[in-house]
């Protein structure tokens, strides 16, 4: 009996001697305090971006918890027992539940996670506790990407992952402080090793559509774009924004010339004299059968969210993309408002002249509603229609009128506050931008019994030859008109062109100065010197950004499908998923077996490695060492062959000989540090040998 | 078989397990006495954290898919890639290590045997967090060591001792979780070195029946003198041969039988003197006597069947006596 108990009792003692059973307080271990503070710092960084979406109360709870842990590391008598932890858990989770409810769904889940991360940081006692908190840290970083603004955090967060991996490695050391740099190198190496896996999985891992759970993301708000009505003056605020509306890629095709870059958004049919709008759904749902004469362009658009349910297209879209419908007036209606970036492919085509004017089009296209037509406006319209042979002739007279009178294109026109804004614009202010010209022109055409409509969208775009893309910004917003000409159909008339033809050929240069009286200067395409360099730089930046968007941000199921087809891997269907899983398993098995069954090489010692390196170097100089040639003979031969490098060669081979043939266990072998340094020096010397025969 | 050292559960035994264990790869001693960890011999398996990491990755994959988040996918796959890199690095952390033979010094039975093994990192990259334990005894996990490039360190392996004699170190499990702690790799190493285990020090079972007659009491004391003169309280360092075992057995505490004639400089420890005890207890009693006599600076001789050591003293003499007792077979 006694013998048994005594054995157990020393077992117990042994337990205490070993580090496993009773974990040491991390800050009491050598270098532990620094590790603890670095861990808490990095963990705080993982939660930091959530300041943007979580309630400030949650972040305060988090910071208080990690802050208390830091203080406890400095003031060791601060209580950190289980009661403190229970209390903080109760308070923390109550606050999270108070503001967010139970932790289901994204925001409540993230709030819960951040509080949990804080609590787990507070709980850190041993090094092993840090490992578990780092796992939570990874998860917290992940939740960042469930938000729309998470994309911009991608690169900082990848660096943070490196930091956390470094911490994990540090935790596994007996003496972490001597390996701080070594572990950074190791993590770098692991990132390089991970890279091919990341690329392959990112592009080839089957992307399943739709959500696999029921809870879904919350929508985003606060987007800019064209409104669904046009009041005189409303577009001017857009024109001042450099924000990208969409990017059109033309792949290997020539892009359309600037004068053809009319990107239709929607058509405004209904007016009350001041405001133009789309009108009821009736007009838009009409579709027409048209015969396509020519397919002019095929392009792809990456549309930024604009909260409208129309898609932009170069005139005239041949067909609608998926989940959208092409309307009779050539505008495309999307199934739902565009709340996140979408991508679609379109053809631009031209139709034949056989278009028929529908009764509804005629009715709406002539309806002026409550528009007040003043006598002088009526007189002006009459002068246009007088003995005119066609609608086009009337329109041309109107355009001439704009052109020959003192009309000014300006982004800051005077306010039109009378009851008849068209009249006021035509005869008094005569200053405005596209919206003014388009709505006055359309009003006059309707008054002249010509069906007319306003088209809103974008005109132009910055062509980037590097990526063969046109970047369309909010500053390219434009409004123009279309009128009905019997025998030709709806034809585009841009009255702004009559006043400021430069607006059509080039875009407004916001960086350049605005002329006197708010007149806009248009940027010219003939750039020289520094300006050209800047433009070039912007092109490169944009093309990189376009590639980034194309291959990272917008890489989705459709694009994966394209990629798979181009790689000859077939469709993204069940068969592909099976094949992918099979290939993945095969790759892993192959990798593992390569590791296990690769031909066993006796590990070479450092001296042999260096000798081989030296031989290889000499071989590249054309001097091969004989199979049974000793190092002395080889040295003699080498020196003879390259007398110019005599001293270096002699030095290196002498060192190699000394390393190889020194006495085992002699005093030379005792100092390993010196050994390592010598080896490293020698390796450098061999590598830097540069012999010209 | 402890294929999964992480579990911490000692291996079940049985014919099937033994057969399976015979299939495992073991690092053998090479002709030059060095043991080199070969790539094929390294086992690897996720730790608890590794499994947690996997579960987390799956959750992340679902999350990324649900929210159609490409950075989410990238991040998930990055962690996957790093996990695979860790698989390689954890395996590599053991490959190529060179282990010397195990050195040890004798211990008394019941104390752990302490083996020292020099581990050499012949790689130009550092290795770290390496520890080991005697096979089936994860409980005795050694302190971890770090090995900078081309340097060496010493691992101390403790192994429990249960009986006297030569104790083989046998199979040892060398293991690491470096760099990420998500995976544990390990190798089995066969050590043929053994440690001499002295008998345990005088642990005498309770309630044993001491010899029925005075003669045996006498025989136990014949080395010193004949005249029993009374009792004296036992103190550390006193000759256990003089303990009144009968009294101890009756629960009267540890007392010494005091004899008049204690002038003899040379004390003989005779096997026959312990005849009333069980075999192992006789050895223990003699062991304790040796230790105490040595401590007291007395000159003593040992006489057991087949071995007779002339009275002497000193560490070496003690070692010889204890070794003789340790290796004594009935």
Is the CB of A190 less than 8 angstroms away from the CB of B89?
yes
Omega before residue B179 within 30° of 0, cis: yes
Q: Do B77 and A18 touch (CB under 8 A)?
A: no
Instruction: Tell me, yes or no, whether B124 lies in a domain.
Output: yes
The C-alpha of A64 sits at a distance from chain B's nearest C-alpha, in angstroms, of 26
Dump pLDDT digits (tens) for A583-619.
888 887 887 777 666 555 555 677 777 888 888 888 8
% of chain A exceeding 70 in pLDDT: 82
Please, are residues A286 and A384 in contact by the beta-carbon 8 Å criterion?
no
B147 with B15, same domain: the answer is: yes
Chain B residues 178-207 with a CB less than 8 Å from chain A: 178-182, 200, 203, 206
Cβ A233 vs Cβ A435: under 8 Å = yes
CA distance A595 to chain B (A): 7
Instruction: Check if the beta carbon of residue A46 is closer than 8 Å to that of residue A137.
Output: yes
Same domain, B175 and B304: no
**Considering only residues 165 to 204 of chain A, which have any Cβ-Cβ distance to chain B shorter than 8 Å?**
165, 168-169, 171-175, 178-179, 182-183, 186-187, 189-191, 193-198, 201-202
| B191 and B228, same domain (yes or no) | no
The answer to whether B175 touches B133, Cβ cutoff 8 Å, is yes
The whole-number pLDDT of residue A191 equals 94
Contact A327, A284 (CB under 8 A): yes
**In chain A, what residues touch B77 (CB-CB under 8 Å)?**
197-198, 201-202, 205
Query: Given an 8 Å threshold on Cβ–Cβ distance, is A216 in contact with B65?
Result: no
Give B84→chain A minimum CA distance, Å. 7
SS3 content of chain A, % helix, strand, coil (to 5): 55, 15, 35
CA distance A215 to chain B (A): 8
Q: Which of B38, B49, B82 to mutate to test the interface with A (most CBs of A within 10 A)?
A: B82
Strands A469-473 and A244-249: antiparallel
Is B208 part of any domain? no
Sequence length of chain A is 693
Pairing mode of beta strands A244-249, A292-303 = antiparallel
Q: Which chain A residue has its CA at the smallest distance from B78's CA?
A: A198
The C-alpha atoms of residue A690 and residue B308 are separated, in whole angstroms, by 75
Q: In degrees, to the nearest 5, what angle opens at C-alpha B189 toward C-alphas B188 and B194? A: 135
Q: Domains in chain B: how many in total?
A: 2
Greatest mean pLDDT range, A39-43, A100-104, A208-212, B264-268: A39-43
Query: Considering only residues 105 to 164 of chain B, which have any Cβ-Cβ distance to chain A shorter than 8 Å?
Result: 110-112, 122-126, 128-129, 139-146, 148-152, 158, 160, 162
Contact A139 B56 (CB under 8 A): yes
Q: Which helix (H) or strand (E) holds A457?
A: strand A452-459
Where among B198, B229, B250 does a domain terminate?
Answer: B198
Residues B29 and B138 reside in one and the same domain: yes
The 3-class secondary structure across A9-59, one letter per residue, is HHHHHHHHHCCCCCCCCHHHCCCHHHHHHHHHHHHHHHHHHHHHCCCHHHH
Residue pair A235/A433 in contact (Cβ under 8 Å)? The answer is yes
Please identify among residues 646-675 of chain A the ones whose CB lies closer than 8 Å to any CB of chain B: 672-673, 675
Closest CA relative to residue B171, chosen from B21, B20, B46, B19:
B21
Same domain? B189 vs B220: no
Distance from CA of A14 to the nearest CA of B (A): 8
- B238 and B184 in one domain? no
Give pLDDT, residue A284: 55
pLDDT at B206: 41
- Cβ contact A312:A363 at 8 Å: no
* Per-residue confidence band for B328, with pLDDT thresholds at 50, 70 and 90: confident
Are B140 and B55 found together in one domain?
Answer: yes
Among A residues 378-437, those touching chain B with beta carbons less than 8 Å apart: none
Q: Has residue B204 been placed in a domain? A: no
Instruction: With a cut of 70, say whether residue B265 has pLDDT above it.
Output: no
Look at A174 and B77 and tell me if their CB atoms are within 8 Å: no
Q: Examine the pLDDT at A502 and tell me if it is beyond 90.
A: no
Residue B202 structure tokens: 């005088």
* Alpha carbon distance A470, B31 (integer Å): 73
**A142 reaches B (C-beta below 8 A):** yes
Mean pLDDT across A647-665: 76
| Cβ-based contacts of B59 with chain A (< 8 Å) | 139
Alpha-carbon distance B290 to B313, whole Å? Answer: 10
A444 vs A426: CA distance, rounded Å: 10
For A60, residues 6+ apart whose C-beta sits below 8 A from its C-beta are: none
ipTM over 0.90: no
**Of B198, B232, B251, which marks where a domain is finished?**
B198
Q: Rank A301-310, A413-422, A573-582, B165-174 by mean pLDDT and report only the highest.
A: B165-174
pLDDT of residue B245: 67
Supply the pLDDT for residue A158: 92
Check A554 against B70: CB less than 8 A apart. yes
**Of A178, A187, A600, Cβ closest to residue B40:** A600
Pick from A18, A139, A577 the residue to mutate for testing the B interface (most B CBs within 10 Å).
Answer: A18
- The reported pLDDT for the residue numbered B55 is 93
Residue in A110, A585, A596 to test binding to B, most B beta-carbons within 10 Å = A596
**A2 interaction partners in chain B (CB closer than 8 Å):** 203, 206
Query: Of the candidates B76, B96, B141, which has its C-beta nearest A20's C-beta?
Result: B141
For residue B70, tell me if it sits in a domain: yes
Cα B301 from Cα B319, distance rounded (Å): 12
Domain match, B151 and B278 both: no
**Assigned domain for B68 exists:** yes
Per-residue pLDDT at B240: 63
CA distance A140 to chain B (A): 10
More confident residue, A493 or A3: A493
Residue A237 CA from chain centroid, whole number? 26
Task: State the pLDDT at residue B205.
Answer: 43
Per-residue pLDDT, averaged over B264-272, amounts to 75
Q: Can you give the pLDDT at residue A112?
A: 92
B203 in any annotated domain: no
Chain A residues within an 8 Å CB radius of B85: 189-191, 193-194, 197
Q: Which domain holds residue B291?
A: 214-327
Among A21, A112, A122, which residue's Cα sits nearest to residue A81?
Answer: A122
pLDDT in tens, A357-416: 888 788 888 888 888 888 888 988 888 888 878 888 888 888 888 888 888 887 767 777
| CA pair distance B321, B198, nearest whole angstrom | 10
> Considering chain A, what is the average pLDDT of its residues?
78
Q: Is A167 or A662 the better-scoring residue by pLDDT?
A: A167
Cβ-defined contact of B128 to A174 (cutoff 8 Å): yes
Q: Touching check for B254 and chain A: CB below 8 Å?
A: no
pLDDT in tens, B28-57: 887 777 888 888 888 899 998 999 999 999
Nearest to B71 among A10, A154, A672 (CB): A154
CA distance A370 to chain B (A): 48
pLDDT value of residue A17: 42
Closest chain A residue to B81 measured between Cα atoms?
A194
Disruptive mutation site among B81, B132, B161 for chain A (greatest number of A CBs within 10 Å)? B81
B220 and B115 in a common domain: no
Q: How far apart are CA A300 and CA A247, in angstroms?
A: 8
User: Which residues on chain A are in Cβ contact (under 8 Å) with B82?
Assistant: 161, 165, 190-191, 194
Q: How far is CA A420 from the centre of its chain?
A: 47
Say whether both B170 and B117 belong to one domain: yes
Long-range contacts of B29-34 (CB under 8 A, 24+ apart): B29/B101, B29/B190, B29/B192, B33/B100, B33/B101, B34/B98, B34/B99, B34/B100
pLDDT digits (tens, 9 = 90+) for A421-443: 888 888 888 888 788 888 889 99
Q: List the single best residue of B31, B41, B71, B254 to mutate versus A (max A Cβ within 10 A).
A: B71
The reply to whether B218 and B194 lie within a common domain is no
Q: Give percent above pLDDT 90 in chain A.
A: 11
Distance from CA of B231 to the nearest CA of A (A): 26
CA angle A332, A335, A336 (to 5 degrees): 110
The pLDDT, as a whole number, for residue B224 is 46
State the pLDDT confidence band at A302, using cuts at 50, 70 and 90. confident
3-state secondary structure of B238: coil
Contact B82 A194 (CB under 8 A): yes
Q: Rounded to an integer, what distance in angstroms lies between the CA atom of residue B120 and that of residue B97? A: 6
Taking CB atoms and an 8 Å limit, are B203 and A2 in contact across chains? yes
In chain B, DSSP finds a helix count (H) and a strand count (E) of 7, 17
Instruction: Give the B window 43-62 contacts with A, CB below 8 Å.
Output: 49, 52-53, 56, 59-60, 62
Does residue B205 belong to any structural domain of this protein?
no
Contact A552 B74 (CB under 8 A): yes
DSSP secondary structure letters along A285-310: T------EEEEEEEEEEEEPP-S-SE
Confidence of residue B256 (pLDDT cuts 50, 70, 90): low
Q: Which of A128-142, A260-274, A347-361 has the lowest mean pLDDT?
A: A347-361
- What is the four-CA torsion angle of A440, A441, A445, A448, rounded to 10 degrees? 60
Give the tokens for residue A141: 């970083």
| B220 falls within a domain | yes
Q: Is the pLDDT of residue A162 over 90?
A: yes
What is residue B228's predicted lDDT score, i.e. its pLDDT? 52
Q: Which of B170, B198, B226 is the last residue of a domain?
A: B198
User: Given an 8 Å threshold on Cβ–Cβ distance, is A191 in contact with B206?
Assistant: no
Shared domain check, B174 and B319 = no
């Amino acid at each position: 009996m006694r013998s048994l108990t005594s054995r157990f009792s020393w077992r117990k003692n042994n337990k205490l001697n070993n580090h496993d059973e009773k974990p040491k307080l991390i800050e009491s271990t050598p270098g532990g305090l620094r590790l603890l503070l670095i861990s808490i710092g990095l963990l705080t960084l993982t939660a930091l971006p959530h300041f943007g979406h979580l309630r400030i109360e949650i972040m305060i709870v988090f910071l208080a918890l990690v802050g208390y842990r830091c203080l406890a590391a400095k003031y060791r008598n601060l209580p950190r027992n289980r009661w403190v932890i229970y209390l903080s858990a109760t308070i923390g989770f109550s606050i999270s539940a108070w503001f967010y409810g139970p932790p289901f769904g994204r925001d409540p889940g993230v709030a819960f996670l951040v509080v949990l991360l804080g609590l787990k940081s507070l709980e850190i006692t041993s090094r092993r506790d840090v490992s578990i908190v780092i796992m939570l840290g990874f998860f917290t970083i992940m939740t960042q990407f469930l938000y729309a603004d998470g994309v911009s955090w991608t690169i900082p967060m990848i660096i943070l992952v490196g930091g956390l991996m470094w911490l994990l490695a540090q935790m596994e050391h007996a003496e972490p402080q001597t390996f701080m740099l070594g572990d950074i190198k190791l993590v770098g190496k692991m990132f390089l090793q991970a890279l091919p896996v990341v690329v392959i999985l990112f592009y080839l891992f089957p992307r399943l559509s739709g959500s696999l759970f029921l809870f879904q993301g919350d929508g985003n708000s606060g987007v800019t774009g064209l409104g669904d009505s046009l009041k005189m003056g409303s577009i001017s605020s857009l024109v001042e924004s450099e924000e990208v509306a969409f990017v059109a890629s033309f792949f290997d095709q020539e892009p359309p010339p600037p004068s053809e870059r009319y990107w239709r958004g929607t058509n405004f049919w209904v007016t009350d004299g001041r405001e133009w709008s789309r009108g009821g759904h009736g007009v838009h749902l009409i579709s027409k059968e048209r015969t396509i004469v020519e397919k002019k362009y095929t392009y792809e658009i990456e549309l930024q969210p604009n909260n409208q349910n129309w898609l932009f297209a170069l005139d005239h879209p041949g067909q609608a993309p998926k989940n959208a419908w092409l309307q009779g007036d050539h505008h495309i209606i999307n199934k739902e408002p565009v709340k996140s970036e979408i991508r679609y492919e379109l053809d631009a085509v031209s139709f034949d002249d056989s278009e028929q004017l529908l009764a509804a089009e005629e009715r709406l296209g002539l309806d002026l509603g409550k528009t007040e037509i003043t006598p002088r406006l009526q007189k002006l319209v009459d002068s246009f229609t007088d003995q005119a042979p066609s609608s086009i002739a009337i329109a041309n007279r109107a355009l001439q009128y704009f052109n020959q009178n003192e009309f000014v294109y300006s982004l800051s026109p005077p306010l039109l506050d009378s009851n008849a804004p068209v009249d006021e614009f035509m005869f008094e202010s005569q200053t405005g931008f596209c919206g003014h010209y388009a709505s006055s022109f359309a009003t006059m055409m309707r008054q002249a019994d010509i069906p007319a409509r306003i088209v809103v969208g974008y005109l132009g775009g910055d062509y980037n030859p590097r990526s063969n893309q046109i970047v369309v910004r909010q500053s390219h917003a434009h409004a123009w008109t279309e009128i009905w000409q019997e025998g030709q159909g709806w034809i585009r008339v841009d009255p702004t062109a009559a006043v400021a033809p430069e607006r059509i050929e080039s875009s407004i240069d916001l960086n350049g100065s605005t002329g006197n009286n708010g007149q806009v200067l248009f940027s010219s395409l003939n750039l020289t010197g520094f300006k050209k360099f800047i433009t070039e730089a912007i092109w490169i930046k944009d093309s990189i950004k376009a590639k980034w968007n194309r291959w990272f941000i917008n890489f989705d199921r459709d694009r994966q499908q394209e990629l798979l087809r181009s790689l000859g891997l077939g469709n993204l269907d069940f068969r592909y998923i099976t094949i992918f899983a099979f290939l993945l398993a095969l790759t892993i098995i192959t990798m593992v077996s390569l590791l296990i069954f690769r031909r066993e090489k006796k590990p070479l010692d450092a001296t042999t490695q260096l000798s081989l390196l030296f031989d290889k170097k000499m071989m590249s100089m054309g001097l091969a060492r004989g199979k049974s040639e000793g190092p002395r003979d080889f040295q003699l031969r080498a020196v003879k062959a390259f007398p110019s490098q005599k001293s270096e060669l002699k030095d290196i081979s002498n060192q190699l000989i000394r390393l190889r043939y020194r006495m085992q266990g002699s005093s030379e072998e005792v100092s390993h540090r010196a050994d390592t340094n010598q080896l490293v020096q020698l390796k450098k010397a061999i590598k830097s040998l540069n012999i010209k025969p | 078989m402890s294929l999964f050292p992480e579990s911490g559960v000692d291996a079940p035994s049985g014919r099937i397990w033994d057969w399976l264990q015979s299939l495992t790869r073991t690092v053998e001693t090479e002709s030059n006495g060095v043991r080199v960890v070969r790539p094929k011999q390294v086992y690897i398996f996720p730790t608890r954290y590794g499994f947690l990491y996997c579960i987390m990755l799956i959750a992340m994959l679902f999350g990324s898919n649900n929210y159609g988040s490409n950075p989410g996918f990238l991040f998930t796959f990055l962690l996957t890639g790093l996990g695979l890199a860790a698989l390689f690095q954890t395996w590599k952390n053991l490959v190529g290590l060179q282990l010397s033979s195990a050195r040890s010094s004798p211990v008394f039975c019941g104390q752990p045997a302490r083996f020292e093994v020099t581990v050499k990192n012949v790689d130009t990259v550092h290795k770290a967090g390496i520890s080991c334990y005697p096979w089936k005894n994860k409980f005795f996990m050694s302190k971890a060591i770090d090995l900078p490039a081309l340097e060496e360190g010493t691992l101390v392996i403790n192994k429990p001792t249960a009986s006297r004699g030569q104790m083989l170190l046998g199979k040892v499990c060398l293991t690491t979780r470096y760099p990420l702690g998500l995976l544990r790799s390990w190798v089995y190493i066969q050590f043929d070195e053994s440690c001499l285990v002295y008998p345990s020090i005088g642990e005498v079972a309770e309630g044993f029946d001491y010899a029925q007659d005075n003669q045996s009491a006498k025989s136990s004391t014949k080395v010193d003198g004949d005249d029993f003169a009374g009792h004296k309280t036992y103190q550390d360092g006193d000759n256990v041969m003089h303990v009144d075992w009968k009294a101890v057995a009756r629960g009267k505490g540890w007392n010494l039988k005091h004899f008049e004639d204690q002038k003899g400089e040379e004390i003989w420890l005779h096997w026959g003197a312990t005849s009333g005890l069980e075999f192992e207890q006789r050895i223990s009693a003699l062991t304790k006597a040796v230790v105490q006599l040595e401590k007291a600076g007395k000159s003593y001789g040992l006489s057991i069947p087949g071995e007779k050591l002339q009275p002497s003293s000193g560490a070496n003499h003690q070692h010889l006596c204890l070794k003789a007792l340790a290796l004594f077979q009935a």
